[in-house]
Amino acid sequence: MHCSSIRHISYSLPDKILTNADLASLYPGWTEAKILEKTGISQRHVVTDTETAGDLAERAAIKLFDEHQIDPQTIDFILLATQSPDYFLPTTACMLQHRLGIATTAGALDFNLGCSAYVYGLSLAKGLIAGGIAANVLLLTAETYTKHIHPMDKSARTIFGDAASATLISVAETERIWQFQLGTDGSGFDKLIVPAGGMRLERSSKTALEITDDSGNTRSQDHLFMDGTEIFSFTITTVPRTVKETLEKNGLKMENIDLFVFHQANKYMLDFLCKKCKIAPEKFYMNFADCGNTVSSSIPIALARAAKDGTLKPGMKVMLVGFGVGLSWGATIITW
Amino acid sequence: MTIQDKIQALEELFEADAGTITPETALDTLQWDSMAMLSLIALVNEKFGKRLNGQQLKALKTIQDILAVME
């Protein structure tokens, strides 16, 4: 069995910015300060009408190649996590093979997961390397949730931002990606959903009908719906259990972990999880004030930033935990 | 937790002045918004180890209803 390791991470944020002042001007009764206090987010980067997840992923991959002098021809597998693909078909990862100048001998596939996707992507990359199928896996995450969100859905628009990340996972001398603890509960499929637009319910004038809910959020079935209270309730019960199970599976204790990088959902949720999991705040990394909740890119962006600002040092053991839409969750430990 | 402790915790949750909340207080006279709901889910989970779902939250009308789940 071959061992694997994360070699490099880069990320890309779209240029356009949505500030708290922009949101406060749209939603009566809201102030910039209140939005920042409740979410820990001061601005989000959002795509324009003509930018896609494929474009963001391409930019993140090119940054990875440039920043770390990587020859695209050495990549032999592309994994792309997205729920906003450029087309129903073909696969966005296949188009990226050509756009990035990666050899036609490389494998490529998309997989449809959200906030848990990065951890799942690492598990797939580890499996491909362990099985001798690939030696250099390019794991891409790219999401444009803002395209799914109604402009007057206050809660979703405040939280989510668009982004992409690129991670190179390569065959290594020693194993630096530990065991995974994964989980799924499809009974909660409708707690975070875009109801119309797929084959189950095609878009129509009926699905485009706008409804304003009790909290004053407007959306139609063509838009993203998030039941915030249900997602919060799911998270605060599932994540602490997953942290414990991941430690047990890897034969480690809390004190063996040098840094915890959870999906960067929002400040309120993360503060609660940090306390509930009894993690020392200095070991609990949060860095999303300028980009919001970037779904599948939130963990790799946090890792790249922690490495850059000196929080994350070589040799550290880091626990990664992703959780959200599906409902789906996953955790692992990496040695940086 | 005594009933006084629970009321006090709810006054903090709703950012209401001490002594202004009673079991009869209707939730629609307080700031019963999505953030308050998240705070209540967190409080009930932390202090009573229970998981509140959306349906249970929607059924809550008064402080007394909340006190009934804080057990």
The confidence band for A264, taking pLDDT boundaries of 50, 70 and 90, is very high
**Interval B26-68: pLDDT, tens:** 998 988 887 788 889 989 988 888 888 888 888 999 999 999 9
Distance CA A297, CA A83 (A): 12
CATH number corresponding to B3-69: 1.10.1200.10
Residue A258 in 3-state DSSP? coil
- Please report where in the chains the tokens 């530990």 appear, as a residue: A178
Q: Quick check: A229 and B38 CB within 8 A?
A: yes
B42 touches chain A (CB under 8 A): yes
- Catalytic positions of A, written as ranges: 115, 263, 293
* Residue contact B37–A233, C-beta within 8 A: no
Mean pLDDT of A145-161: 95
B41: closest CA of chain A, how far (Å): 7
Q: Is the pLDDT of residue A216 over 90?
A: no
Cβ–Cβ of A229/B33 closer than 8 Å? no
Is there a single domain that holds both residue A74 and residue A16? yes
Of A172, A194, A212, which one is at a domain's C-terminal end? A172
Let me know whether A188 and A314 are in one domain: yes
Give me the mean pLDDT over the A221-250 stretch.
95
pLDDT band at A1 (very low <50, low <70, confident <90, very high): confident
The pair phi, psi for residue A50, each rounded to 5°, is -95, -5
Q: Give the domain range for residue A142.
A: 3-172
The model's pTM = 0.93
Q: What is the pLDDT of residue A82?
A: 98
DSSP A186-227: GGGGGGEE--SSSSSS---TTTT--EE-TTS-EE-TTS-EE-
Q: What is the pLDDT of residue B51?
A: 86
Any CB–CB contact under 8 A between A232 and chain B?
yes
Query: Domain count of chain A?
Result: 2
Candidates A60, A28, A26, A23; CA nearest to A44 is A23
ipTM computed for the complex: 0.78
Chain A 239-278, residues with CB within 8 Å of chain B CB atoms = 268, 272, 276
What pLDDT sits at residue A27? 87
Contact A233 B46 (CB under 8 A): no
Q: Calculate mean pLDDT across residues A141-165.
A: 96
Task: Specify the pLDDT at position A207.
Answer: 97
Nearest-CA residue of chain A relative to B54?
A: A230
Select the more confidently predicted residue: A215 or A88.
Answer: A88
Cis ω for the linkage preceding B67 (within 30 of 0): no
Q: Are residues A67 and A117 in the same domain?
A: yes
- At A311, the pLDDT band (50, 70, 90 cuts) reads very high
Q: Are residues A56 and A147 located together in one domain of the fold?
A: yes
Domain boundaries, chain B: 3-69
* pLDDT reported for residue A214: 79
Are A76 and A196 in a shared domain?
A: no
Same domain, A53 and A192: no
Check residue A103 and give its pLDDT.
98
The CA angle A6-A7-A12, to the nearest 5 degrees, is 90
Instruction: Read off the pLDDT band of A29 (50, 70, 90).
Output: confident
pLDDT at A152 > cutoff 90: yes
Residues A238, A321, single domain; the answer is yes
Q: What are the chain B neighbours of A38 within 8 Å (beta carbons)? A: 35
- Residue B53 with chain A: CB contacts under 8 Å: 230, 233
B56 or A259, higher pLDDT: A259
Interchain CB contact of B4 with A (< 8 Å): no
Q: Which 3 state secondary structure label does DSSP give A173?
A: coil
Q: Report chain B residues whose CB lies below 8 A from the CB of A233.
A: 41, 45, 51-54
What CATH number is given to the structural domain containing A67? 3.40.47.10
Are residues A190 and A314 both part of a single domain? yes
Same domain, A220 and A318: yes
Of A227, A268, A272, the CB nearest to B54: A227
* SS3 label, residue A294: coil
Sorting pLDDT into bands at 50, 70 and 90, what band is A87?
Answer: very high
Q: What is the CA radius of gyration of chain B?
A: 11
Is there a contact between A263 and A238 (Cβ–Cβ < 8 Å)?
no
8 Å CB contact between A293 and A322: no
Residues A130 and A189 in one domain: no
Give the tens place of pLDDT for each residue, B10-30: 998 888 888 899 999 999 898
A107 touches chain B (CB under 8 A): no
